Each structure stands twice: as structure tokens, then as C-alpha cells.
Structure 1
């Protein structure tokens, strides 16, 4: 039986890891420790899952004591993004395995620290890129492996985030690049990993444009230029198009949050946390719109875009190869789409021949049915009957993060950025 300790008792940690560990995988796994900066998170976790009432709690400064007293086999990391590297490196120094939420880190330099630590450790790092596990995404991987497309030459991926989900990133800590790496890392690393995995190629060079178009103090939707407002007490929120779209005078939708439930009154005691900060604050300096061209080491090209303020949520994908092309479109969050949406299919066009429409068997569960399957691989070991590798390691995590960093740096520096340059070990200078 493997023993797990959790660093970061977030909403994501509870729903994605702790509860399944207790409810589905208790014959194989045991939760032995919880670590966080806020005692209130322990109380809420144990209120939701009373069977762990006696699991020991540790402060952020007590990592070594937690290891000594609980002797875990695996450290689960689900804390705020910029803290991941600290816990991952410490765990590897203790020769422990690590399972971490994406992004693995928020900078290429921290990814390098993690990979170097792993080289000197008996432990291994797993990054929970659950987008890989969605049934449409595994089907696309299988089609590429079967040779349906031949050698992949180019990919078009356009990702759309709706006004509800998109604005939530600007209400929370994600809007601070020091904490999240910016949205080209916090969000887009998911997408870059998916492409890297499908192609089985490494990104080598990135050129990108980006801008802050919808949020921040200069937004055309800002009802009044004033900093430090919050939705709970804002006196002009009825003049805010974002707030008004999702809230009436008698009904208020809570901001969705992977790290804690967003009930402000219930969670007002969390350290330095407010999930309803004004999306028009002048301190917001990250981008909400990107387009990027990415070159891969075996010749494939990716045309990527993402927009964090659109009428609906989902993506359009096309992959071209020497033998054919596939296309698909997915609508996320159908309950928020104000019109009928079609069932997602994959359209395959051989270079010479008739179109095929592929219907994929849907699965229940978060992230398009991906969460339950990745949980099985994490807690039971990878499925030995699956004919391809799917769990992500530290190099996968590093290339996803570094591609995202290359995107925002290309925007800032107005030049192409080489991925390997960002991942290179620092050069030691002799004086």
C-alpha cells in the first residue's frame, strides 16, 4: 500500500486526489499527512471528509517533520502554482515520488531545478495533464499512431474561454505573473502538452503576439476607473457587463476555483486570498489574448491562439499530415452556452479519398471524462494494456511550461524565443 502526503489542501486536491483516494482506491493508498499555510483548509477538508479526522496536519515550514513522522511514499502537490517547485524539489531530496498538478512550475528555470533534482534522486515526478485522457484526445493520439495522417506537418489549435471562466482568472491570484506564470503557462501549458504528446515532438522555437484587450483599467467595459474594488461590495457592479451577464439581482453565480470554493463569507479567513477582485484593476499586466507560431524539432508547425473573453467556451482543432487531415470542435461548459450545440465528432479527410466521421464513446467525469482514468493510473499504476505512454513526466511538464514562457517573452521582446535556451542550465562564470 502506498502512503501519500498532500501539500496544498486546495479544492482541487480534495476533489481530484483525496476523495478518490478514500472512496475508490483505499485498498491501494493511504493518506498520511496534510500540509498547508492555512489551518482553515484542514478544517474544511475534514468537514467534507470526516474519515480523515485523525490525519496529521503540518504547517508550511514543517515539510521535513511531516516526512519524518508520516514516512510517505508519494508527495501530492496541489498548492498555488509558484509553490510547486519548492515541494517537488524537497520531496526529490528525500528520494520520494511526486505527483503534481499542472503547471509543474511557473518558470523554465524552476523546471530545470526540478529536472536536475530528479536526476539526483530515486524519486520520479508525474504531472497530472488530464487533458491527455479525454476520450477524443486519446482517439486522436491513436489515429496518429496508426498512421492515418502520415507525418504530421502542421496543427491549428484555437482555444476559446468564455466571459465567465475567462474573467475568473483576473479576479484571483492568477492575474499576478509572479504567482501563475501568466495565462500562457497556467492555462496554455495544458494545450501545449497535448500537442507535444500528440506529435511526440519537442517545441524548439516560438514567435508570438499578445495583448490585454478585455481586462485591466483601460478596458472599454470598465464602469469606473478605480482600483481595489471587489464584487461583493462594489457599488457599480450592475454597470459591469461581465458581472451582469452571469448574475441577476436575485441570483449570484460563484466564481469557479480549482483551489478553494469561492464562497467569500465561508472562506474569508484564507491567507491573502480574495476570489472576487475587480477585473479592471490597474495592477493587471498579464495578457488575455495570444496568437503564436511554434516550430517543432521534427519539422511540424503549430498555429495557436487563445482568447479569455468570448461568448462561448471550447476549441477548434485541425491536424494536417502527409496522408490526411483531421478536424474537431468541442464546446466546453454546455450549460453556459445560450444555443444548441452539436455532439463532438472527429472528421477525418484522407488526402485522396472520402471523408470519415468518427463518433467517440463519451465518459463521465471531469475534464471530458479524463479525470477518472488518470486517477486510476496515479493510484493503481499505468494500465498495462494501453499500447502507448500517457502519464506525463518532468520533461513533459518542463516543455509545456517553457513553451508558455517563450510565448509571453516573445510578446514582450518582439522576437522569436528558442525553447532550449530557456531550459539551459545556468553558465557558471569563473572570477
Structure 2
């Protein structure tokens, strides 16, 4: 018998899950219902399922206020949550309270109160909550975990982690719902959760204290004025400037952008292509944090969302040497191109510098699929036959909580100008 899934939130990122179930895992799994605020988007899902993946008939669709009806009527084996970040907690908690396991896109949620509520619910119900950190599975990131675990650089005492979003991908966070911190928690939560999770994963430790700064230095109306940007149209569609504005997105350029967003505006109320130099932006584009971990490691972290290339530099310093990883990624826009190109690597290098010995480059075998083969490996863990994994890359509710708590603490530090203790945010001593 096939494992039956329902999915709530069927925007661009949702395709990663339902299309994998309908194709690679169709012999063992199936989508039996979807839930969203937009009938147009749900109709697009059914178009894909019936025309591309040969589902015999459309699956039932439910609006967001009918979510519990969907669970009661369809009785799935598990629920997939890919809605707007601020709503994750509602769907996760409702599902677990009704006895269903949950698979959620990162971030698990966006603030301390919602994090505590999810942890309390999981403890009460005992349901499984999986958080989909595909970066753990990327071969270069897995190799760093192997190297650190092998002791090749000894005890890791400090890490420098620099993430760069270019003006194609970075700007997209300032066009979409992410631009409002009440929706996304800002980039420290929505984007950096990947990076903070990698650090927790690599060094097998948890954050203790966070101090951070953050500013809006590039996007937003004030910066447009300072830089002489004359774009004053509220959105890019029908502005007449799509061709000559490097920050514009054309919602007619792909079927997904057109069907999931442009054609869905009437019943969703959501505008996907707002001007990146408008007034309503409440998130930062320039972020820096200093994090102290419970095992003594110090992390210096930065994220900038307007760089000339996309990727990251990370350095791990230990008492026996140093690891240096540089990755240049293919920049992408969600639903703006082929899925397999998302996070594809253009260049990378992984070097080990042992004390008193010659440095050497570590070879990395890349696989097909997004993030150097990381995406298919994650999907196999979720929907396929999980293999024994000495790296323990599968992430649960505590991994999801600890990754976002660093970003939540960073947001509170920006607001208060003070260092924030993780233990003051959420009670995790018994979790």
C-alpha cells in the first residue's frame, strides 16, 4: 500500500516535494490532497499531477480554513508543510495533535514563542517532525562533517562563515513575502537557518549566546534615493521596465511564475514582484553575528544579499589545523527556472591545512541533482528507503529548533543592542 501524503502551501517551493512523490517515489507514495489560500495554485498542482505524472484524477483541494477538514476526511499518513513561514507552527501543531507525523520545509518557525509551542506539542504527542535541511546532504558539506569527526583538525575552536547572495537571488527576498519580518523572521531566520544548522551539525554542539548587527543598506526606498535609483513603480509587471531593470522579475517568463503567482493574484491577493526599492521592507540585507557554543567554539558569521557572486566561504580552525571550503553556486530564482539548477555548483574547493604538515585538497564526488546531489539524497531519506548514515544527516524537531534559535536570538540582539542567551528564549533542557 502506498504511503499517503497531504501538503499545505503549494507555491513554488512545494514542487520539490509533490513532484518527487509523483515521479521518483510514485510506486510507494502518493499525494492525496492539497491545501492553500488559492484555488488557482491548487488547480496548477492538479494539472501537473494529471497531465505530467498521470494521476487518474485530480486530488481534493481545501482552503486554509479547511485544513482540519482535509485531515479528518483524508486521514493521510503524513503532512507536508510548505506554507508561508509564519504559519508553519499552526499546521505543524494541528497535525501532530491529530496524530500525524509532519515534514516541514525550513525554517521550522520564526520566533521563540512558536518554537516553544512546537516543542511542547511534539513532547506531548510523540509525533515525528522532520525538518528538511538539504544542505546537510550536499557532498561538500557532508565531507566537512567527516573531516571534523575524524579529528583531522582536532578540537574546533573558531569558525568564520561568510554567505553571499547575489543581486539575482538576493533581490528576490525583497520582492516576495519574505521582505516582511513578520512573515519570515528576516534572513537571519529564513535563510541563515541553513547555515546555523550546518555549524551545529559539523561541530556537534549547540548555540549558547548570540550578539548581532543588521541593517538595510542596499534595498529599500531610502537606499534608492541615496544611490540615485529612479524606479518608483510599486511592482515590475506592466511597469515597462522589466527589460532594462536588473532587479526586475518577469512573471510571464515561466509557466510556474505565471500560474502560481500572476494568475493567482485574484484569489490569493499576493503580489510576487514588488519593487525591491519600495517602502514596505522590514528585513535586513546586511547581517553579522558572533555566536558562542556550549562546547566553547566561537562563530563569526555574515550574510550580504547584494553581492556579485553567489555562494560561501567557511573556515574551521582547530588545535591541529584548519579547513577551508569555498563554494560558488549557480544563482536562481524560485520558480524562475529548472529545479535541477537550484543550488547547482559552479566551482568549489576544500582544503585541509594540518599543523606542521603540507596542506592538501580533498576530492569531492558530486552527484546529479540540486546541491551537488544533496537534494536527491534528502528526498531518499524522506520518501525512499533510508540507509544507515554514520553522519546522521536526517534532521528532527530539535535540529529545527536549534538552527532557528540562533537567528531568533540575532534578531533580538539587533533590536536590543545586547547579547542574547539561548536558554532565555526557549526551555530545551528536557527536550
- TM-score of the two chains, using structure 2 as the length reference: 0.89
For residue 329 of structure 1, the aligned residue among 313, 326, 330 is 326
The separation in 1 between residues aligned to 2:59 and 2:244, in whole angstroms, is 47
Deviations 1:397-421 (A, max 9, x none): 1111111111122112111111121
| CA offsets 1:117-139 (integer angstroms, 9 cap, x no match) | 00011311000010101000111
1:252-272 deviation line (CA, Å, top 9, x unaligned): 687999xx6257644433512
Aligned mates of 1:207, 1:148 — CA distance in 2? 30
Structure 2 counterpart SS, 1:112: helix
Match of 2:237 among 227, 232, 235: 232
Aligned to 1:291: 288
The more displaced of 28-37 and 323-332 is: 28-37
153, 167, 170: which one aligns with 2:171 = 167
* 1:6 to 1:193, Cα distance in 2 relative to 1, 3 A: same
Tell me: CA distance 1:287–1:55, structure 2 relative to 1, closer, same or farther (3 Å): same
List per-residue Cα deviations over 1:148-189 (Å, max 9, x = no partner). Answer: 121111111100000111111111110001111111111111
Partner of 1:102: 106
Offset of residue 18 of structure 1: 1.0
Q: CA deviation at 1:343?
A: 3.5
The CA distance in 1 between the partners of 2:191 and 2:63, in whole Å, is: 28
1:21 corresponding residue in structure 2:
21
Q: 1:262 to 1:177 in 2, by over 3 A?
A: farther
Q: Contact 1:217–1:225 at 8 Å: present in 2 too? A: no
Q: Give matches, 1:125-274, under 5 Å.
A: 125-219=129-223, 220-221=226-227, 223-224=229-230, 226=232, 229-234=234-239, 242-243=247-248, 261=257, 265-274=262-271
Could you say if the C-alpha distance between residues 283 and 11 of structure 1 is closer, same or farther in structure 2, counting changes exceeding 3 Å? closer
Alignment of 1:76-115 (within 5 A): 76-115=80-119
Q: Take 2:415 and 2:126, find their aligned partners in 1: how far apart are those partners?
A: 39
Tell me the CA shift for residue 100 of structure 1. Answer: 0.2
- Identify the residue that residue 348 of structure 2 maps to in structure 1: 344
Aligned counterpart, 1:2: 3
Distance 1:36 1:237, change over 3 A: closer
State the secondary structure of the residue aligned to 1:303.
strand
Shift in Å, 1:237: 6.7
Mapped to 2, the partners of 1:145 and 1:24 lie a distance apart of 32
Q: For the residues of structure 1 that align with 2:118 and 2:416, how far apart are their CA atoms?
A: 26
* Contact 2:106–2:400 (Cα < 8 Å) also in 1: yes
Asked if 1:44 corresponds to 2:44, the answer is yes
User: Helix, strand or coil: the match of 2:348?
Assistant: coil
Helix, strand or coil: the match of 1:75?
Answer: strand
Distance 1:312 1:107 in 2: 30
Give the 3-state SS of the residue equivalent to 2:265 in structure 1. coil
Can you give the 5+ residue segments of structure 1 that lack an aligned partner in the other structure? 426-431
How far does the alpha carbon of each residue in 1:198-228 deviate from its partner, in whole angstroms, 9 at most, with x for none? 11100010111111100111113453485x6
Separation (CA, whole Å) in 1 of partners of 2:120 and 2:108: 14
| CA-based RMSD | 2.4
Q: What CA distance in whole angstroms lies between the structure 2 residues aligned with 1:255 and 1:200?
A: 43
Any conservation in 2 of the 1:223–1:240 contact (CA below 8 Å)?
A: no
Equivalence for 1:429: none
Preserved CA contact (<8 Å) 1:223 1:236: no
Do the aligned residues in 1 keep the contact of 2:251 with 2:257 (CA within 8 Å)? no
Does structure 2 retain, via aligned residues, the 8 Å contact 1:222–1:280?
no
User: Residue 389 of structure 1 corresponds to which residue in structure 2?
Assistant: 392
Assess if the C-alpha contact under 8 Å between 2:135 and 2:374 holds in 1.
yes
Residue 297 of structure 2: which of 281, 296, 300 is its match?
300
Q: Following the alignment from structure 1 to structure 2, what is the Cα–Cα distance between the partners of residues 424 and 222? A: 48
Tell me the TM-score normalized by structure 1. 0.89
Q: Give a deviation string over 1:338-393, Cα, whole Å, max 9, x none.
A: xxx97312100111211111120111112332110000000125312x21311111
Shift of 1:334: 6.6
Q: Is the 8 A contact 1:224 1:236 kept in 2?
A: no
Distance 1:346 1:390 in 2: 20
Aligned-pair CA distance for 1:49: 2.1
Correspondence for 2:336:
none
The corresponding residue for 2:337 is: none
Distance in 2 (CA, whole Å) between partners of 1:100 and 1:116 is: 17
